[in-house]
Amino acid sequence: MPSVFSLIAAGEIPCYKVAEDERFLAFLDINPIAEGHTLVIPKHEVSYLFDLDDEEYVGLELFAKKVARGLQRAVPCVRIAEAVIGLEVPHAHIHLVPINSEGDLNFSKKLTLTPERMSELAARIAENI
């Protein structure tokens, strides 16, 4: 059974896409903790981030770096925080979250954004990458 993120990578489930190349994909988290909260995944399904081989791990981080730079231009903030949790979806992924203080990286506090706002944010981030 493919992961939900594999289904997204295959285009079988929609997402608010931010960036992609042949190997990696970035899209908005559907339950964001901040505006612009983005997930970065390898299209190739591996459950746990730290089980990626070195080459794919470094490739994912370089892709995340490019996305983070665009994200900060699109959603002004002090820093883009990077987090790895991975308890809910067994497909390696990195969270990129715009923050202005440490307390902004709080995964128990979710925002409710309209589909229009999510589309607008995804488009603005994509334009800035």
| Of the residues 2, 21, 31, 78, which one makes contact with ligand AMP according to CB under 6 A | 31
What's the min distance (Å) between Cβ of 28 and ligand AMP?
A: 7
Q: How many angstroms from the chain centroid is the CA of residue 69?
A: 13
The residues in 36-55 that bind ligand AMP, with binding defined as CB under 6 A, are: 39
Q: Counting contacts by CB under 6 A, is residue 87 touching ligand AMP? A: yes
Please identify, among the stretches 25-33, 45-53, 54-62, 66-74, the one whose residues bind ligand AMP according to the rule CB under 6 A: 25-33
Tokens matching residue 103: 């307390």
| Of the residues 3, 17, 61, 89, which one makes contact with ligand AMP according to CB under 6 A | 89
What's the min distance (Å) between Cβ of 3 and ligand AMP?
A: 9
- Give the span between the Cα atoms of 101 and 40, in whole angstroms: 22
Closest CA to 80 of 56, 104, 114: 104
Which residues 6+ apart lie within 8 Å of 41 measured at CB? 5, 8, 9, 24, 25, 26, 60, 91, 92, 93, 94
Q: Which residues bind ligand AMP (CB under 6 A)?
A: 4, 13, 15, 29-31, 39, 85-89
